[in-house]
Chain A
């Protein structure tokens, strides 16, 4: 009964900002430019297969890196004393206050051939090299921009975990590694899954990053969608169809990941 109090605004929000736009995407995906029903857009989506594959692949690499860097970071932060912890979390959040484009633009000047990193290595006598305009630079941009979304959910789960469980495991004679593998990590799994979803989804659908850090050579699916709506090859129907396929892909991925978490602890929506 109590829950219903907050329901009307929530339903209003859900309908206007989620359901209506979603159905518009589906509607446009199945119509041609004249508004007739057509499947040609969905067929055309597969022309961009290699872009899809590249996006999935780069998104996968970026997510793996985020996890490999993010999990230890979150773990360490959750272990230190409370004053230090607050400071560290603030430091993690700090870059989020700056505009996404601005941060990426700054990285462009750092990674350039005449940029900071290259100059530094030149100074050391290793020689100059250009780090920008490669796929690795794009992955780097994704990791840099989205790692916060990996650290925060893992951190919030780790911090809630009952310390007594660890103590109990110690009492029963488990070593540090075993405690981590058998107690801490399984308990933090909901956070990990949420983190992976929150990094993978924006990484796969990101745009601008490949233009700025990748030199526009390896376009991602987000760039293609962007072009269909705002660019010179204007075709919102095809853009919607690509978005729809991307959405289905993301839903399937989230569905798979959700299976690793108990029903009550799921934080990611999926099919």
Chain B
């Protein structure tokens, strides 16, 4: 009797459990659909802190876009080009607007992952300066609209670094005088290797394995001098004097110019210039709305707010004229033509060179490939130990059993 009751209870429980899940799925599908009927949502995938979000007195750009068009913006951020590429490849989310930089755009075009833009819908693109049109990464200018640009420069603590500003060049990162005070890029293989290449006066777009190996060797030589590998903590560490030198992107200069101890210099020997542009992935579900969004971002009124907040350089001289003149005329923010003529944007490297760059960089980060034998040995010792204990216990048990029998 009791048993039957239990079985019934069991079945009821199972039934309720399955029913709850089904109802949940049903409701979700209904409501999920309803929402998408009412409002279109576009997925915007951008660099971290790369849009004005209303946090320091400037316009909340996404909210403004929603207000004007009624299109919802689902805004998410990424850390570097490579993770953007990984996400585009691996994620089930369909992004509508992305902000890759130069070489990544070339790669995305090559892999046929971004779509041609409809410039009839992006009328504001006409305000982009001529020098930013038809760049090498997008020679026909059909796939991208430049959003911001900048250079890599050297940030330093004025109290610790006593070299004259004009003399600071890339080799300062290898100067033993600043041992334990040097910061390095944490998560970008290309940026990290580019520094070594710049120091060696080699092309940052080199496809020769020997050059890359030399650069990697420089990075290994540099290891003992390094304080830490960081990304955004650069300014905490330099500001407090914990570290003295760091390579970083020029946008950060304005943000941190309030701290008088932090200096910034773009080496005269040339540097890397990067452009971040807006693109629309091929598998976007809302291409029309995406174009609308890009057009909105290019609107000079909006761009002023954006650039004032993110502090990168603008590719629109209309916008530059409307910025704070202190910033717009600063040689530090907008490097001189002389420096720019010696600066290069990254080119997309062939796949095998890309893999080599990643592997070389990882090798410098993990301090070489060794210890294989030791690891296998440890594994074997662990397994042996495990079996010895098992066998020991087995024998002991048998002995006890025999004793018990007698």
| Chain B 337-371: CB-based contact to A (< 8 A → 1; otherwise 0) | 00000000000000000000011011001111111
Q: Is A253 an interface residue (CB 8 A)?
A: yes
**Residue of A at shortest CB range from B363?**
A47
Which of A53, A216, A218 is within 8 Å of B186, CB to CB? A216
Binds B, one of A80-88, A158-166, A195-203, A231-239: A231-239
Residues of B within 8 A of A133 (CB): 227-228
Residues of B within 8 A of A49 (CB): 369-372, 374-375
Binds A, one of B195-203, B295-303, B384-392: B384-392
Q: Is A20 an interface residue (CB 8 A)?
A: no
* Contact status B17-A8, CB under 8 Å: yes
Residues of A within 8 A of B371 (CB): 49-50, 52-53
**Residue of B at shortest CB range from A12?**
B17
Q: Is B83 an interface residue (CB 8 A)?
A: yes
* Contact status B85-A5, CB under 8 Å: no
| Chain B 367-406: CB-based contact to A (< 8 A → 1; otherwise 0) | 1111110111011001101100110010000000000000
Q: Report the separation of the CA atoms of residues A9 and B15 in the bound assembly, to the nearest whole angstrom.
A: 11
Chain B interface, >50% SS class: helix
Which of A1, A211, A216, A256 is within 8 Å of B6, CB to CB? A1
Residues of B within 8 A of A259 (CB): 386, 389-390, 393
Which of B90, B242, B385 is within 8 Å of A114, CB to CB? B242
Within the complex, the shortest CB–CB distance from A242 to chain B, in Å, comes to 12
Residues of B within 8 A of A5 (CB): 6, 9-10, 13
Residues of A within 8 A of B135 (CB): none
Within the complex, the shortest CB–CB distance from B397 to chain A, in Å, comes to 12
* Contact status B85-A53, CB under 8 Å: no
**Residue of B at shortest CB range from A236?**
B90
* Contact status B83-A230, CB under 8 Å: yes
Within the complex, the shortest CB–CB distance from B92 to chain A, in Å, comes to 14
Q: Is B50 an interface residue (CB 8 A)?
A: no
Chain A interface, >50% SS class: helix
Which of B188, B227, B240, B386 is within 8 Å of A252, CB to CB? B386
Q: Report the separation of the CA atoms of residues A5 and B186 in the bound assembly, to the nearest whole angstrom.
A: 51
* Contact status B372-A256, CB under 8 Å: no
Q: Report the separation of the CA atoms of residues A105 and B269 in the bound assembly, to the nearest whole angstrom.
A: 37
Residue of A2, A252, A256 with most chain B CB atoms under a 10 A cut-off: A256
* Contact status A249-B223, CB under 8 Å: no
Within 8 A of A (CB), among B62-103: 80-83, 85-86, 89-90
Residues of B within 8 A of A32 (CB): none
Q: Report the separation of the CA atoms of residues A9 and B382 in the bound assembly, to the nearest whole angstrom.
A: 36
Q: Is B180 an interface residue (CB 8 A)?
A: yes
Q: Report the separation of the CA atoms of residues A114 and B261 in the bound assembly, to the nearest whole angstrom.
A: 15
Q: Report the separation of the CA atoms of residues A49 and B369 in the bound assembly, to the nearest whole angstrom.
A: 7
Which of B361, B365, B386 is within 8 Å of A256, CB to CB? B386
| Chain B 160-177: CB-based contact to A (< 8 A → 1; otherwise 0) | 000000000000000000
* Contact status A50-B382, CB under 8 Å: no
* Contact status A1-B382, CB under 8 Å: no
* Contact status B188-A52, CB under 8 Å: no
**Residue of A at shortest CB range from B180?**
A130
Residues of B within 8 A of A192 (CB): none
Residues of A within 8 A of B376 (CB): 46
* Contact status A232-B80, CB under 8 Å: yes
* Contact status A233-B375, CB under 8 Å: no
Q: Give 14 A-B contacts (CB < 8 Å), ordered by A residue.
A: A4-B10, A9-B17, A49-B374, A130-B242, A132-B228, A215-B227, A215-B229, A216-B186, A217-B223, A230-B83, A231-B187, A232-B80, A234-B82, A259-B393
User: Closest 3 CB pairs between A and B?
Assistant: A215-B228, A216-B229, A232-B82
Chain B positions within 8 Å of A, measured between CB atoms, are 3, 6, 9-10, 13-14, 17, 80-83, 85-86, 89-90, 180, 186-189, 223, 226-230, 240-242, 358-359, 361-362, 365-372, 374-376, 378-379, 382-383, 385-386, 389-390, 393
